[in-house]
Amino acid sequence: MLHPSTTLALGAVALLAALPAGRTRRVPADYPTIQAAIDSAEPGDTVLVAPGRYVENIRFEGKGIVVASEYVQTHDPAVIGRTVIDGSHPRHPDTASVVLMIDQEDTTAKLIGFTVTGGRGTVWTDARQKAQYREGGGVLCELGSPVIEHNVIEDNRAVEVGPGILSAGGGGIRCGYAEPIIRNNVIRNNRGEYGGGVVLYHSAGTVQNNLIAANSGGAGHGGSGLWVVGALSYRLRNLIEQNTIVGNVAVLPDSTPTQLGGKGGAMIAFAPILFRNNVVWGNRSGVGGQIQHSKRLPPELKANLVQDGAEPGADLTTDPAFADTVHYYLSPRSPAVDRGDSASPSDPAASARARAPALGKRRADLGAYGGPESAVLLP
């Protein structure tokens, strides 16, 4: 196993190599706000944000830019906690997502290395349903394929409904008709009427190496950790891999479950999904178990640890033996060590052992800290 400092250094090199070659626009040295730097940026630029608390709600405006904290330089997760985008004081209460990526951004649009908090979601008309919803407390993305990685997305909500608003969801992240990459994030303590943590709606997203913990929701349509419904194309499917989905609650104390309400303590899955190498534990729901899915279109499960797993692909049902309840690292005695799908990608940089914080050899551990994309998520 490599020493954690070696892992940090390798990760820093990889992130720096991934940055575009355009101009670096520094906040607050060159621009007083993140949005002012975005407004001035050209495709290929990097908006580099120094540690601080930025009380604003930002919009990428369709630009292929990287908006990042100094985490991309240091690869120190403590920087993420010190660089906060606080969306709790929006200019308009109905445009209250902390980050908007709704202008067909592609994979060159990246949000990296922030604590995203205080969002209340944005009211808008869904293209398919032709009805208004409040969605995306922390991040709202639509019709694009942005990259959202190495962030802590916490204490956001999408719950308020009113006249003309059908429902609300995606407390942490909501992506619709999209192919986002959601990787190496901590998504915790968010709330939604459906999908307290993450919503993928008619999408083909990659959700990889995330800790999805202690989110609440499901009063309207279920699914507190993940809510994955609809297909972008039946030739494409969502990849949900190497995540730790733990302690999410699918029924709020003041709710009356309706329709799918209260089902799926960890996930609602009515979409094409490959669900592989995940740990699903300690999630609670009023109806049903950890995962609720369509019998007509069930997810493909491979090599997962699921607390009440009776499905093929829920290979383990025993206690994952977490070492702690903050990072949810695996302890050395965990049955999830070295239990990843043998056909899933291995770490090509590893020798005899995987990189820390993984504990196993070259076969992936289950959960957020296994596989080639594993990283330290919290200090």
User: Do the Cβ atoms of 13 and 19 come closer than 8 Å?
Assistant: no
For the chain, domain boundaries: 4-306
Q: Which residues pair with 155 in a beta bridge?
A: none
- Spatial separation of the C-alpha atoms in residues 211 and 80, rounded to whole Å: 15
Tens digit of each residue's pLDDT (9 = 90 or more) over 117-147? 999 999 998 877 889 999 999 999 999 999 9
Residue identified by tokens 């493909």 is 300
Has residue 2 got a pLDDT over 50? no
Tens digit of each residue's pLDDT (9 = 90 or more) over 201-231? 999 999 999 999 999 986 666 678 999 999 8
What's the pLDDT at 345?
A: 65
Neighbours of 231 (CB within 10 A): 18
pLDDT (mean) for 58-81? 98
What's the pLDDT at 296?
A: 79
User: Do the Cβ atoms of 157 and 190 come closer than 8 Å?
Assistant: yes
Burial group, residue 177, by CB count within 10 angstroms (0-12, 13-18, 19+): middle
Question: The domain 4-306: what is its CATH number?
Answer: 2.160.20
What's the pLDDT at 1?
A: 33
pLDDT tier, 265 (very low <50, low <70, confident <90, very high otherwise): low
Has residue 6 got a pLDDT over 50? no
